[in-house]
């Protein structure tokens, strides 16, 4: 199985050491209101994922068959397997190590398994995927 593409993201106000510019598909990423531009939705394969490297750790950004996008910490709550390398079906991903099913919407393991992985807010605007890595500024 091919490894998902890896992307480096510097969080505004808390950049990763030595990171000055961040790229995916040759385009610089930008942040507004706590939302980080990740890539065009088309750059994530259907039923696949891309990995975003951030100061928060690796984050898997998934695309479903119906073109919805979700983001989870790239770590299964069971044994830490890379969820980005799992199989996406419906609104779940199966961990490639032991087959745990993790909900893309809430990060929860499906019964009878128990556990949860961190979720990140994602939105799609004009075919572009944005992820919220830090809380938006106070209003």
Which domain CATH number covers 102?
2.102.10.10
pLDDT in tens, 41-90: 999 999 999 999 988 899 999 999 999 999 999 999 999 999 999 999 99
Q: How many Å apart are CA 85 and CA 96, to the nearest integer?
A: 6
Is 13 domain-assigned? no
Q: Is residue 36 part of a domain?
A: yes
Residue 13 has pLDDT above 50, yes or no: no
**Which of 22-31, 55-64, 70-79, 129-138 is predicted least confidently?**
22-31
Task: End-to-end CA distance of the chain: give it in Å, rounded.
Answer: 45
The reply to whether 3 falls in a domain is no
pTM for the model:
0.75
**For the CA atoms of 126, 127, 133, 137, what is the dihedral angle to 10 degrees?**
0
Structure tokens at 21: 């510019």
Instruction: Give the pLDDT mean for 96-124.
Output: 96
Does 92 map to a domain? yes
On whether residue 16 sits in a domain, the answer given is: no
d(CA 67, CA 80): 26
pLDDT above 90: residue 21? no
Which residues span the domain enclosing 55? 23-132
Instruction: Count up the domains in the chain and report the number.
Output: 1
Asked whether the bond before 44 is cis by omega within 30 degrees of 0, the reply is no
Q: For residue 85, what pLDDT is reported?
A: 97
Percent of the chain surpassing pLDDT 90: 68
| Alpha carbons 128 and 1: distance in angstroms, whole number | 26
88 token code pair = 């996406």
- Structural domain contains residue 55: yes
């Amino acid at each position: 199985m091919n490894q998902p593409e890896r992307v480096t993201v510097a969080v505004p106000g808390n950049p990763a050491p030595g990171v000055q510019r961040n790229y995916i598909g040759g385009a610089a990423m930008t942040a507004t209101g706590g939302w980080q531009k990740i890539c065009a939705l088309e750059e994530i394969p259907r039923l696949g994922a891309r990995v975003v490297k951030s100061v928060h750790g690796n984050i898997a950004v998934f695309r479903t068959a119906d073109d919805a996008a979700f983001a989870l910490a790239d770590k299964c709550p069971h044994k830490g397997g890379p969820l980005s390398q799992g199989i996406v079906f419906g609104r779940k991903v199966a961990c490639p190590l032991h087959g745990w099913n993790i909900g893309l919407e809430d990060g929860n393991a499906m019964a009878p398994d128990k556990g949860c992985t961190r979720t990140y807010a994602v939105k799609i605007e004009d075919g572009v995927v944005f992820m919220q890595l830090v809380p938006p500024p106070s209003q």
